Amino acid sequence: MSDRGRAAGVLDGVRVVDFGHHVAGPLAALMLADQGADVIHVDRPGSVPAADDAFFNRGKRRIALDLKTEADLAVARDLVRRADVLVENFRPGVMDRLGLGWEETRAANPRLVYCSMPGFSADDPRAGVPGWEGVIAAATGNCRIRPGYVPDGWDETRPTYTAIPVASNFAAFCGAFAIVAALTARHRSGRGDRVEVPLFDAMFEAIGGSGAYPVARGLPPERAISANGSGTYRCADGRHVQFNPIGATTRFLTWFLDAAGATAWAGEGLTDRARMDREPELRRVLHERLTALFATRPAREWEELANAAGVPLAAVRTTAEWLDEPHARASGQVVVLDDPLLGEVAMPGSAVWLSAAPEPPASPRRLPDADRAEILAELGASPAGPPEAAGDPAAALPYAGLRVVDLTQILAGPSAGRMLVEFGADVVKINVPQRRVGAHGFVNRGKRTVLLDVKTGEGQRLLWRLLADADVLTCNFPERTAERYGLGYEHVRARRPDIVYVSVTCYGSGGPWAGRRGYETQGQAATGIMSRTGGEGAPAVLGPYNLLDYGTGVMAAFATALALHHRELTGAGQHVRASLTQTGTYQQARYALRPAADGPAEPQGPTALGTGAWHRFYRAADGWFFLGASPDLLPVLREVPGLEALSGVDGSDEAAVAEVLETAFRTATAGEWTARLTAADVGAHPVTPLAELMSDPRVHARGLAVTQVSEEAGEVVMPGIAIRVHGNPPRLGHPVRRPGADAHDVLREIGLSDSADTLERAWVLQTTALPAGWDHF
């Protein structure tokens, strides 16, 4: 195995064959390559690298193979026989027809981890539908403008298109995590497994808590984030800031007003949360006053002032500005590589940071077929039969027997813990006592829950007893906060050298912004997503779902999986990190190159319907649907009943094509057009509202939406598990418990069951009058 094109890392020695194309497959394989895996990317002969190839195929070796010829197909099979991992994202059945499907490759290589990321799964009735991003967005409701950013006079039924490949990104994130988990399980079982993360399924990880609700209350209406004056404000220089002083109290708003010289506002009730709840007019007044205040200084000045005060606020940047930002470079979230075609190019760094392999990726892409001679020489020098599959084939889930202590709050960190539960871990979730818990529902499914004040001496004594038997500690304190509590990595490592310590933050570490606070909206503002979504108008938060929060949850789970894989081999623990801004960089990675590579113009702004006449949302007689086609399909479309008018249209005249299609599509329903188009093997899907999606019997039958009975709220609906592992499937966690409900059970396990009453009287622990966990839904 050559060291060329590889960064040293915790996956050294892992061999990956990447048959991926577009985004999902290459991105998942890249995330493995960045951690040291030897990835061989298979190109089609004569293919011209896309503009984003410099990022997606960095750090990989490359060979061009025509899989329709027997000679090249034999080379591909030989590569797979020697591989640890295969990654592909074709439609179901394509790899089987090539003789490279799961059954054939498993017979030849029982230790193979086989990861598929099609648009729709093989057992989905839509398996044959081309899984374009717009098709998946329509199918999962990811085509709505977030409340609070809807333009005046907007038609609420009209969809909007984003060029950011959200579904492909989530599939890649989930696929990379599941691959590493399967490699860890293979240490004990001796056998590989099949991982499947269809793009449609992956979107349920992105939907997250937006699709979780008690049945008795129904799916709540989408609401703008406006508490405590939250919003996007225009500043004196015409730039914008995203201000998000959310929380159970108004402390962030108070800190900000003090720093801005507006302390007197408190005397008018504008920092009194209870009074604003009683007098909604005060919310309007606060927003108007903040609008006027922000207009008095430039955006960057407000950013410095607010963050010096510890307040979550970010200036809205473009992606190009983020790529040049000193913090992005210093923290390793952006790296510069010397590309063979483009020269020096800034691009996203590693998806996560690991202390065992802290160096950023240093290997630019190789060009297609550049490593053919080397790869063929390796195959000829080491003929191999099927690898032996030693081990216990009935081994448990990858993380069975492992304990995680979860100190994280809100969405990102808790989501990582939930995923670890699904792969076998015992997760103990700790929240502060005597306080409204906030976001607790879906993200804490399957965990045990304790209300404990870890800032107190007695609380820390109890926490250290928990950590004595823990394998993983997750936290999302701002930089240096854990150290002040005596809970930093070095503190924990001194007592538990083999601990995996997971940090989740907004801005990452190692740069000047490391100590800043921030949430989903700050991550989107800082990295350019809001500018991209708003287009030429005011900046806007992307989509209806929290893509950075839940995406970072998966990234944190991926970082944890890497560290546990490394610990399985070496016995050593380490510190790993994930951040909202790095996830934001990865969400737009195909556009995050500087200088930008030549490529098609990107549709931006809320009015965008698609990339052109062939690939966009259209209005039908009863609603909207997405058409995923291309000019080469014009002869096919002319044969679709109702589209005969295309016969006289020049396919290169997009305006004429759009006019004909707009007229034709108004003559039948979205469902009828979808049926006609998909019967002709053309991608199409009606726009599906979230409430309809979460109640779809097909979705429930496949476990993508589940109904559980909560001890607090009765029947609750929520997303299920997006990742499928065929031989050793992840398990759905038990229903969410009321916060603090497991304190006695946990105390008994660590020998402190007799201390509960004493700790509760000291306000260190809460076991009675427990707060609600679903009251924010």
Residue 437's pLDDT is what? 78
Per-residue pLDDT, 600: 67
Q: What is the mean pLDDT of residues 458-476?
A: 96
List b or e across 182-195, with b for residues whose CB sees 16 or more CB atoms inside 10 angstroms.
Answer: bbbbbebbbbbbbb
Q: By the 8 A CB rule, do 115 and 87 touch? A: yes
Residue 383 predicted with pLDDT over 70: no
Report the pLDDT value the prediction gives residue 387, as an integer from 0 to 100: 62
Identify the pLDDT of residue 248: 75
Q: For 608-624, what is each residue's pLDDT tens digit?
A: 999 999 999 999 999 99
Q: What SS3 state is found at 208?
A: helix
Residue 385: the pLDDT is: 53
Give the pairing of strands 403-406 and 38-43: unpaired
CA separation for the pair 79, 100 (Å, rounded)? 11
Q: What pLDDT does 571 receive? A: 96
Give 224-268 pLDDT, tens digit per residue. Answer: 888 899 999 999 999 999 999 988 789 999 999 999 999 999 999
* Cα 29 from Cα 570, distance rounded (Å): 23
Does 103 score more than 90 pLDDT? yes
Average pLDDT, stretch 450-478?
95
pLDDT by residue (tens digit) across 545-575? 999 999 999 999 999 999 999 999 999 999 9
* Alpha-carbon gap, residue 92 to 389, rounded angstroms: 27
Per-residue pLDDT at 52: 93
> What are the strands of the beta sheet with 113-116, ordered from one edge?
61-64, 38-43, 15-18, 85-88, 113-116, 193-196, 724-725
pLDDT over 70 (residue 302): yes
CB distance 592 to 323 below 8 Å: yes
The answer to whether 353 and 563 are in contact (CB under 8 A) is no
The pLDDT assigned to 381 comes to: 87
**Least confident residue range of 175-179, 535-539, 577-581:** 535-539
Mean pLDDT over each residue of the chain, to the nearest integer: 94
The 10s digit of each residue's pLDDT in 189-216 is 999 999 999 999 999 999 999 999 999 9
Instruction: List, in sequence order, every residue forming a beta bridge with 335; answer none if it has no partner.
Output: 347
pLDDT tens digits for range 334-369: 999 999 999 999 999 999 999 998 776 679 999 999
Report CA Rg, the chain: 26
Structure confidence at residue 222 as a pLDDT band (50, 70, 90): confident
User: pLDDT tens, 392-444?
Assistant: 666 789 999 999 999 999 999 999 999 999 999 999 999 999 887 777 889 99
- Give me the pLDDT at residue 359, please: 77
Report pLDDT digits (tens) over 593-606: 988 766 667 898 99
pLDDT band of residue 6 (cuts 50, 70, 90) is very low
Token pair, residue 37, equals 């895996």
User: Which pLDDT does position 5 carry in this prediction?
Assistant: 43
Q: CA-CA distance, 28 to 196, in Å (whole number)?
A: 12
pLDDT of residue 394: 62
Does 742 have pLDDT greater than 50?
Answer: yes
Average pLDDT over residues 279-294: 96
Find, among 11, 58, 294, the residue nearest to 179 by Cα. 11
The tens digit of pLDDT for each residue in 481-520 reads 899 999 999 999 999 999 999 999 999 999 999 999 999 9
